[in-house]
């Protein structure tokens, strides 16, 4: 992959030089092409910074035998370009096993063949993670598509993926008629979807078994892009609350207990 980026940047820069030398036979680069070249060059610069910076200081993590990988957390989040698990948590490489997809969705056990199930099973059964975090975010376009079914109708793959969040859409339709403002309705969808996907997680035998042994905690988070704050689902108060340095309470599920959906809605009405 590295050589592919280097090649792309080199070719782009050589092409730019040729254009400068002989503008009679070649058209000048369009603004879009120039932006693309600058972007690829930034990626290459970033790779060099990685090698000279974090790779040098954490080389043992990268070099270690594959069996030495013991991340304590499976971090499931959205593919949105603004979400970066390492950046968000400021944790060192090696601590998070990451699963990223549109809408931070967890298809129920054996309901999809996209690789999510294998990632979850590997994380829990082989790596032995102690925590699974599902981290959503405000302004989620995947959840926007879920609410606006016209996108689903136009794009078959999006439709078949979002079917794993159909329960979320139904919960919003049935319980959130009082929230009509678009941003608030989207945020309610984002939050409810985290809880639905946490429920899906428990359909995995490896997850259920680890919960039964009290060897695993599940957490539901939402990152608010507007404030930079991360909200965590508080299973005692049945609501998302800002995660501070001192107020972090119980995870959503520890060893099998979970709040009822009815109770959550009663508290929010």
Which positions lie near Zn ion, rule CB under 5 A?
Answer: 78, 80, 140, 142
SS3 for 199-230 is HHHCCCHHHHHHHHCCCCEEEEEEECCCCCCE
Residue among 77, 115, 73 nearest 194 (CA)? 77
Minimum separation from the CB atom of position 234 to Zn ion (A): 22
Q: Which residue has the tokens 């400021």?
A: 90
The residue (of 78 and 124) whose beta carbon lies closer to Zn ion is 78
What is the spatial distance between Cα 19 and Cα 22, in angstroms, rounded to a whole number? 5
Q: In whole angstroms, how close is the CB of 97 to Zn ion at the nearest point?
A: 20
Residue whose CB is less far from Zn ion, 142 or 198: 142
Chain Cα centroid distance, residue 227: 18
CB closer to Zn ion, 141 vs 199? 141
Helices 31-52 & 2-21 angle (0-180, nearest 10): 140
Least separation, in Å, of the C-beta of 20 and Zn ion?
41
Shortest reach from residue 73's CB to Zn ion, in Å: 20
**Measured from the CB atom, is 78 or 123 closer to Zn ion?**
78
Q: Which is nearer to Zn ion, 26 or 82 (CB)?
A: 82
Least gap, CB of 268 to Zn ion (angstroms) = 22
Distance (Å, rounded) from C-alpha 184 to C-alpha 207?
32
């Amino acid at each position: 992959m590295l050589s592919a980026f280097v090649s792309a940047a080199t070719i782009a820069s050589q092409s730019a030089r040729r254009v400068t030398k002989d503008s009679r036979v070649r058209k000048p680069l369009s603004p879009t092409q120039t932006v693309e070249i600058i972007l690829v060059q930034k990626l290459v610069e970033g790779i060099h910074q990685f090698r000279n910076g974090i790779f040098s200081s954490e080389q043992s993590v990268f070099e270690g035998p594959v069996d030495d990988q013991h991340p304590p957390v499976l971090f499931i989040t959205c593919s949105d370009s603004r979400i970066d698990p390492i950046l968000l948590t400021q944790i060192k490489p090696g601590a998070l096993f990451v699963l990223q997809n549109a809408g931070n969705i967890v298809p129920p056990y054996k309901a999809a063949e996209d690789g999510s199930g294998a990632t979850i099973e590997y994380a829990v059964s082989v790596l032995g993670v102690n925590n699974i975090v599902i981290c959503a975010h405000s302004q989620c376009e995947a959840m926007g598509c879920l609410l606006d079914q016209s996108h689903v109708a136009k794009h078959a793959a999006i439709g078949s993926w979002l079917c794993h969040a159909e329960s979320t859409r139904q919960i919003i339709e049935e319980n959130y008629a009082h929230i009509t403002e678009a941003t608030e309705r989207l945020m309610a969808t984002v939050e409810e979807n985290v809880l639905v996907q946490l429920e899906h997680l428990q359909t995995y035998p490896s997850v259920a078994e680890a919960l039964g042994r009290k060897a695993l905690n599940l957490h539901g988070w939402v990152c608010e892009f507007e404030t930079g704050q991360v909200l965590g689902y508080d299973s005692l108060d049945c609501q998302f609350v800002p995660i501070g340095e001192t107020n972090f309470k119980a995870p959503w599920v520890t060893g099998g207990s979970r709040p009822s959906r009815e109770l959550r809605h009663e508290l929010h009405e």
